[in-house]
């Protein structure tokens, strides 16, 4: 089962907010509906401000979807993967870098995928077209978005 | 539709190397399973692929009034990947410990994994004895020194109905614990 063909990259189309996430997690508080709206707005602002963004995802650190520009099933899978990437990144940061995880980058020929810590309980994933985006600019914008989302989620 | 409550449960599927965790999740998942398998460099006589980060699948259980979505996170089996156990157990409400009835030499690993997971969260577990019969169940209970409150079920990780039985048993225990917690906090 190759994931390559699974994800659809039509570019981000803001999805309606997911209904409330239910009592899933004992660790991460679920955002309110207004919190989710604000997250969606921050994501939309990021894709407006930067060319080449193909997909975005925000998830809890225990792998639950808050918002993605993919379909619900794709988003659900991406949420689990993003949380695992965050956890692994945090482990690499503390063990190899003796510091706090900020972000990690996966590059393919065509795409750049950034995984950004959002506070210590959420994660932002950004998929961009390599030919349309420079890494420095992506980091600058995505880190700013991660901070904004972090503020929204800690307030909601 | 809008009358139905959707409740999401995060469950972890763990157990020793080659216990059948990836197969277990694949047997019931309604979505294409996220897998992170790679070729094995040791243990090839047992199997040639192994999970290095995680598996992820989802299955729904419904009755008239509510829809319960089970999010299944599968762990790697080897203890060198124990950092993934910490990561994947975040927020879990229960876990399945899968053991292979035909390879008793892996049962000490299973006991070690159980000890680690009991530290990671005070949540219910169900032991699935893969490729096992009722007599294997007794052997596993003895070898792992399982408390009699822990449900132990013989199962086939390749068989959807069998996997569902294990998950439903766990779900019942999770719901009971949640209800007890809610009552306790009032």
Domains along chain B?
5-185 (3.40.50.300)
> CB–CB of A63 and B84 under 8 A?
no
B135 touches chain A (CB under 8 A): no
Lowest-pLDDT range of A37-51, A140-154, B172-186: B172-186
Q: What is d(CA A11, CA B43) in angstroms, rounded to the nearest whole number?
A: 43
Q: Residue B186: what pLDDT?
A: 65
Over 50: is that where the pLDDT of B178 sits? yes
Name the phi and psi angles at A7, rounded to 5.
-85, 135
Confidence of residue B4 (pLDDT cuts 50, 70, 90): confident
For A91, the closest of B32, B83, B91 (CB atoms) is: B83
Q: Residue A25: what pLDDT?
A: 42
Contacts of B54 in chain A (CB under 8 A): 80-81, 84
Contacts of A22 in chain B (CB under 8 A): 5-8, 69
Over 90: is that where the pLDDT of B170 sits? yes
B88 touches chain A (CB under 8 A): yes
Other beta carbons within 10 Å of B28: 22
Domains along chain A?
33-155 (3.30.450.30)
Q: What is the mean pLDDT of chain A?
A: 86
pLDDT per position as a tens digit, B6-40 = 889 999 999 999 999 999 999 999 999 999 888 88
A/B interface, count of CB pairs below 8 Å: 85
B115 touches chain A (CB under 8 A): no
> CB–CB of A87 and B88 under 8 A?
yes
Q: Residue A13: what pLDDT?
A: 58
Q: Provide the shortest C-alpha distance from residue B125 to chain A (in Å).
A: 16
Confidence of residue B92 (pLDDT cuts 50, 70, 90): very high
Interval B153-158 mean pLDDT = 98
Confidence of residue B143 (pLDDT cuts 50, 70, 90): very high
The answer for B 48-77 residues in CB contact with A (under 8 A) is: 53-54, 56, 58, 69, 71, 73
Q: Residue A154: what pLDDT?
A: 87
Contacts of A80 in chain B (CB under 8 A): 34, 54, 56, 71, 73
Lowest-pLDDT range of A5-9, A50-54, B11-15: A5-9
Q: What is d(CA B16, CA B10) in angstroms, rounded to the nearest whole number?
A: 20
Q: What is d(CA B186, CA B143) in angstroms, rounded to the nearest whole number?
A: 39
Confidence of residue A29 (pLDDT cuts 50, 70, 90): low
Contacts of A62 in chain B (CB under 8 A): 10, 90-92
């Amino acid at each position: 089962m190759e994931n390559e063909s699974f994800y659809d990259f039509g570019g981000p189309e803001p999805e309606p907010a997911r209904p409330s996430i239910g009592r899933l997690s004992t660790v991460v508080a679920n955002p309110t509906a207004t919190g989710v709206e604000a997250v969606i707005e921050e994501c939309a602002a990021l894709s407006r401000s930067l060319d080449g963004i193909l997909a975005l995802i925000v998830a809890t650190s225990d792998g639950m979807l808050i918002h993605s520009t993919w379909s619900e099933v794709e988003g659900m899978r991406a949420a689990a993967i993003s949380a695992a990437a965050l956890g692994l990144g945090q482990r690499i940061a503390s063990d190899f870098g003796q510091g706090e995880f900020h972000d990690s980058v996966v590059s393919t020929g065509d795409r750049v995928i950034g995984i950004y810590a959002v506070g210590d309980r959420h994660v932002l994933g950004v998929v961009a077209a390599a030919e349309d985006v420079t890494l420095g600019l992506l980091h600058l914008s995505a880190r700013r978005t991660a901070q904004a989302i972090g503020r929204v989620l800690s307030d909601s | 539709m809008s009358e139905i409550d959707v409740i999401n449960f995060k469950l972890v599927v763990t157990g020793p190397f080659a216990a059948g965790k990836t197969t277990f999740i694949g047997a019931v998942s309604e979505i294409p399973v996220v897998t992170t398998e790679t070729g094995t460099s040791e243990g090839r006589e047992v199997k040639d692929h192994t999970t290095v980060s995680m598996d992820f699948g989802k299955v729904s259980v419904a009755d008239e009034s509510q829809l319960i979505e089970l999010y299944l996170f599968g762990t790697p089996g080897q203890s060198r990947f124990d950092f993934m156990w910490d990561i994947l157990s975040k927020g879990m409400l229960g876990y399945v410990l899968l053991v292979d009835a035909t390879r008793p030499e892996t049962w000490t690993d299973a006991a070690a994994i159980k000890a680690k997971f009991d530290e990671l969260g005070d949540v219910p577990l169900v032991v699935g004895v893969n490729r096992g019969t009722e007599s294997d169940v007794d052997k596993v209970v003895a070898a792992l020194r399982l408390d009699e409150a822990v449900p132990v079920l013989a199962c086939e990780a390749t068989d959807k109905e069998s996997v569902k039985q294990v998950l439903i048993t766990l779900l019942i225990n999770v719901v009971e614990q949640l209800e007890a917690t809610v009552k306790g906090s009032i």
